[in-house]
C-alpha cells in the first residue's frame, strides 16, 4: 500500500491518501518539520501513486519507474519540481515565470505559470512541488503567490520546508499546513544501518540527527561531530585560530559560504540549551558529550550573551558575505 522506500509518517500518509481518494484535498499544502525526515519523499509519493499502474506507488511498474533514482527529472507527466539552484541557493523569479534557464543552458523545465496553464492530465491531479520553499526570495514568492491563489483545476502545490518562518506570510496563509514530526530514533537508525552505519556511532549519530536522516552521509556527519567538538574547545578557552577550523565554510562547497554557517550556529544553540539543562540537573540532548558539558556547566559562563549572538548571526546569515568575522564575534561571546 505504501511506497516501500519511505520510512515513518504512517498517520500523515494514511490521512493524505484517504483525502486524495475522497477528493478532499483543496488548494495548496505546506509540509513542515525538521530537515531530513522525508517530507519531500512523502510529497513525491502523492504524485507517484496516481501515476502508478496499481495506484499504490508500488515502485515496480512503469509508472513508478519514472519516479525512481536519485536524479529525478524536473518534469513528470503529473509533476513539476521547483528546486533552488546555483551557489546562492535561491529559487529565482524566472524559474517560476519561465522555467530553468541559468548559465545560458537550454531550458530544461517550464516555469510554474506555463506548466500550470496546460490542460490537466486525464483523471489525475497535477502537482507542483516546491522543494526548500524557504529559498523563494521576495520576488519569486510574490509571483508564485498569484498562481497559488487561483491554481488551475485539479492542480495542487506542495511546498516543502524546514524553515516555514522564512516564507512570506502571504504564502503561508494560503496553504494548509501539514506538520511532520521527526522519525522515531529507531526508525532513523534502521535506515542508517541499511546504509552501513555501525553500532559504534549509534549514540552520537542519533543525538546529532534527532530523528532525521540528514547525517546519512558519513562526511556530513563527521563534520557536524567536529563542529560540536570545536565549540566545546572554544568554550573551554582554546584560541580561535586553533579550534575553529571545522566551523569555517568549505571553499569548494557548492553552497554559499554564509549558508554553511547555519549548521555550526544551530549546533552551538543546542550546546547552550544543553548547558542550561545540565545546570538544572536535566539530561542534555547531546548526551554523548555529557562529560564535557558537565565540566562546562560548573564554569561561571553566561549563556544569555552567546545565545543572543548566535540568534543575531543567524538572522544576518542570508546577507553575510564574510563568515569569518561573524564566527569570531560569536566565539568571543562565549568567553567574555
- Give the residue with the Cβ less far from Zn ion, 65 or 173: 65
How buried is 75 (Cβ within 10 angstroms: 0-12 exposed, 13-18 middle, 19+ buried)? middle
Report the Cα–Cα distance between both ends of the chain, in Å, rounded.
Answer: 57
Q: Least separation, in Å, of the C-beta of 49 and Zn ion?
A: 8
Residue 58: CB minimum distance to Zn ion, A: 4
Closest CB to Zn ion among residues 53, 295: 53
Distance CA 99, CA 181 (A): 33
Q: Which is nearer to Zn ion, 52 or 168 (CB)?
A: 52
Question: Which residues would be at the binding site for Zn ion (CB under 5 A)?
Answer: 52, 58, 61, 64
Cβ nearer to Zn ion, comparing 64 with 143: 64
Report how far residue 146's alpha carbon sits from residue 93's, in angstroms, rounded to the nearest whole number. 13
Q: Are 7 and 38 in contact (CB under 8 A)?
A: yes
- Residue nearest Zn ion, Cβ-based: 52
Rounded to a whole number of angstroms, the CA Rg of the chain reads 22
Q: Minimum CB separation from Zn ion for residue 326, in Å?
A: 48
Nearer residue to Zn ion within complex by CB, 4 or 281: 4
- The β-bridge relationship of strands 75-76 and 79-82 is antiparallel
Whole-angstrom distance, CA of residue 197 vs CA of residue 11: 28
Nearest CA to 137 among 101, 84, 174? 84
Nearer to Zn ion, 51 or 96 (CB): 51
Q: Which is nearer to Zn ion, 50 or 210 (CB)?
A: 50
d(CA 17, CA 36): 22
Q: If DSSP codes are grouped into helix, strand and coil, which group holds residue 109? A: strand
Task: State in angstroms the smallest separation of the CB of 16 from Zn ion.
Answer: 17
**Contact (CB, 8 A) for 32 and 23:** no
Locate 29 and state its grid cell. Answer: 499544502
Whose CA is closest to 235, among 281, 278, 283? Answer: 278
Amino acid at each position: 500500500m505504501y511506497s516501500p522506500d519511505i520510512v515513518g509518517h504512517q498517520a500523515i500518509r494514511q490521512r493524505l491518501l484517504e483525502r486524495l481518494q475522497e477528493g478532499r484535498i483543496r488548494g495548496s499544502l505546506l509540509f513542515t518539520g525538521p530537515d531530513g525526515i522525508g517530507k519531500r519523499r512523502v510529497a513525491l509519493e502523492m504524485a507517484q501513486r496516481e501515476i502508478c499502474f496499481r495506484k499504490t506507488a508500488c515502485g515496480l511498474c512503469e509508472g513508478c519507474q519514472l519516479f525512481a533514482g536519485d536524479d529525478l527529472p524536473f518534469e513528470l507527466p503529473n509533476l513539476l519540481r521547483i528546486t533552488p539552484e546555483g551557489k546562492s541557493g535561491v529559487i529565482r523569479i524566472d524559474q517560476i515565470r519561465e522555467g530553468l534557464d541559468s548559465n545560458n543552458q537550454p531550458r530544461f523545465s517550464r516555469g510554474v505559470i506555463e506548466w500550470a496553464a496546460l490542460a490537466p492530465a486525464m483523471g489525475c491531479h497535477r502537482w507542483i512541488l516546491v522543494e526548500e520553499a524557504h529559498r523563494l526570495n521576495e520576488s519569486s514568492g510574490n509571483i508564485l503567490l498569484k498562481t497559488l491563489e487561483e491554481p488551475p483545476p485539479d492542480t495542487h502545490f506542495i511546498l516543502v520546508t524546514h524553515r516555514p518562518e522564512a516564507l512570506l506570510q502571504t504564502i503561508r496563509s494560503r496553504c494548509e499546513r501539514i506538520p511532520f514530526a521527526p522519525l522515531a530514533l529507531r526508525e532513523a537508525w534502521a535506515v542508517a544501518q541499511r546504509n552501513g552505519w555501525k553500532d559504534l556511532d549509534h549514540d552520537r549519530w542519533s543525538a546529532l540527527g534527532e530523528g532525521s536522516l540528514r547525517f546519512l552521509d558519513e562526511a556530513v556527519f563527521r563534520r557536524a561531530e567536529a563542529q560540536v567538538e570545536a565549540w566545546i574547545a572554544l568554550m573551554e578557552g582554546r584560541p580561535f585560530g586553533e579550534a575553529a577550523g571545522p566551523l569555517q565554510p568549505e571553499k569548494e562547497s557548492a553552497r554559499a559560504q554564509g549558508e554553511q554557517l547555519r549548521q555550526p550556529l544551530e549546533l552551538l544553540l543546542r550546546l547552550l540549551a544543553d548547558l542550561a539543562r545540565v545546570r538544572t540537573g536535566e539530561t542534555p540532548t547531546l548526551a554523548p558529550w555529557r562529560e564535557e558539558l558537565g565540566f562546562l556547566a560548573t564554569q561561571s559562563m553566561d549563556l544569555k550573551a552567546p545565545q543572543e549572538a548566535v540568534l543575531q548571526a543567524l538572522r544576518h546569515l542570508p546577507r553575510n558575505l564574510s563568515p569569518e568575522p561573524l564566527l569570531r564575534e560569536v566565539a568571543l561571546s562565549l568567553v567574555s
